[in-house]
A = this chain, B = another copy of it.
Amino acid sequence: MKVVKIGLLGLGTVGGGTVNVLAKNAEDISRRSNCQIIVSSASARDITRTRICDTDTIQLTTNSQEVVNDPDIQIVVELMGGEEPAKSLILQALANGKHVVTANKALIANHGNELFAEAVKNNVTLAYEAAIAGGIPIVKAMREGLSANSIEWLAGIINGTGNFILTEMRDKGSAFDDVLAQAQELGYAEADPEYDVEGIDAAHKLCILASLAFGMPLNFERVYTEGISKVTPLDVTYAEELGYRIKHLGVAKKAGNGVEMRVHPTLIPEKRLIANVDGVMNAVVVKGNAVGTTLYYGPGAGAEATASAVIADIVDICRQLGAPSDHAVPALGFSSDQLNELPILPIEEITSAYYLRLSVEDKPGVMAAMTKILADNGISIEAVLQKEPEQHGANAQVILLTDSVLEKSLITALQQIESLDSINQPAVRIRVESLQ
């Protein structure tokens, strides 16, 4: 049996999980890969620290160069995170003719185009299944399982922290800040939660999914990103009354000759399977023009769930070791010379349905004025919910669900509505996706 030596860059949660899973499932992994996979070395900042895995047979070093330059190592696994030194180390490993596996979504989203080109140049593979949705084999599904399809759209819950917070807000009626504090205590949210709750982490993943879907280079800076910190328990409740759940979705959609890429809180009909994906779990819905609607669900994080994806990439590489590199699946599913830039629509140009909540003075004629403005702007109303003020003289709440409309038309209409005398607060506006 072939022996394949791998070197790890980083030996934290996912690195340790990878070592543990390779050990506990060694027999099944060998039976599948026809290789004996050995972690021969690992770099870490502090090699004296206690690890979650056994390191007796692993050569530990603080010098990552030793790993990427070790001639015995065939696969370098980058699990240190962050942009540098991860990027330089991966480039060097690729230049050294090593295959690379990474779980680093920020790196792929920001520098994937350059990194993939370097892999092609050196006839090696750069694999990144673990960068999106943890243990769910969504990269494989999109670039191989659905290769017969033109992808029409995809939508994913791709940040577990955000989904945990929204799930708790719904289940317990809690406010965002309270649940965030609880998530931090449980270790689900970082001390600095910005990446998770403001949607940056989800935007990294969405950008990669969109390129896999549409065969275009990565364009992270073009993803419209809106977090969940402004979602209120009131809107969660009203959404529920209307038959919807609020989820933090990444959406990528073909629209005319262009593409929409956006991350934002979204109302989803409660009957959709993805509306029932709760807690820290992830799920991605992909609509292909042949297969129809498919969904992939699983844990989006965790040491061994992420290790599952890392090792799947390692096994794929093992199966291809020795074969000419032009037989490997291309990094984004489309041959590297077949990627096309597509126009990415600015957020004003997207089409969506909307949930609108307006605080209005409890006077006759307000509803008539609002609905006239919407009609004048060509916007149809799907549902209305009117909540009388809790005390005399307070504002009433009017909740409207619109039909699909160009975002800029909606903004124009809202500006007119907000200038009405009886409206004295900005409207709450959340996009709605039917996902069918």
Contacts and interface: CB of A to CB of B under 8 A. Distances in A.
Interface of A: 17, 21-22, 24-25, 28-34, 129, 135-137, 140-141, 143-150, 215, 273, 276-277, 288-299, 302, 304-305, 307-312, 314-316, 319-324, 326-330, 333-335, 338
6 smallest beta-carbon distances between A and B, as pairs: A137-B145, A148-B311, A294-B298, A135-B291, A291-B308, A31-B338
B294 A307 contact: no
A248 to B, nearest CB: 18
A298 B304 CA distance: 26
Contacts of A319: 327-329
Given A137-B141, A147-B312, A273-B277, 11 more contacts: A21-B290, A25-B150, A146-B308, A147-B315, A147-B316, A290-B305, A292-B299, A293-B298, A295-B296, A323-B324, A323-B327
Contact of A147 (B33, B288, B320): B33
A215 B276 contact: no
Contacts of A299: 291-294
Nearest to A335: B34
B148 A31 contact: no
A135 B291 CA distance: 5
A292 B305 CA distance: 7
A347 B333 CA distance: 44
Contacts of A329: 319
B28 A149 contact: yes
Contacts of A338: 30-32, 34
A293 B277 CA distance: 13
Given A140-B140, A145-B141, A323-B327, A32 B290 contact: no
Contacts of A327: 319-323, 327
Tell me which of A24, A34, A322, A326 has the highest count of chain B C-beta atoms within 10 A of its own C-beta. Answer: A34
Nearest to A326: B34
23 contacts: A21-B290, A25-B289, A31-B334, A32-B215, A32-B333, A135-B288, A135-B290, A135-B292, A137-B144, A140-B140, A144-B315, A146-B308, A146-B312, A147-B311, A147-B312, A148-B307, A148-B311, A290-B305, A292-B298, A292-B299, A292-B305, A323-B324, A327-B327
Tell me which of A33, A135, A289, A304 has the highest count of chain B C-beta atoms within 10 A of its own C-beta. Answer: A135
A199 B29 CA distance: 32
Nearest to A294: B298
Given A273-B277, A290-B21, A292-B298, A29 B148 contact: yes
Contacts of A145: 129, 137, 140-141, 312
B140 A28 contact: no
Contacts of A273: 273, 276-277, 297
A215 B29 CA distance: 11
B150 A146 contact: no
B141 A32 contact: no
Nearest to A307: B290
A294 B21 contact: no
Contacts of A144: 137, 140, 144, 312, 315-316
Given A140-B144, A141-B137, A311-B147, A32 B335 contact: yes
Given A291-B299, A297-B294, A312 B31 contact: no
Contacts of A323: 323-324, 327
A14 to B, nearest CB: 12
Contacts of A135: 288, 290-292, 294
Contacts of A215: 28, 31-32
B290 A308 contact: yes
Contacts of A147: 29, 32-33, 311-312, 315-316
Contacts of A321: 327
Contacts of A330: 32
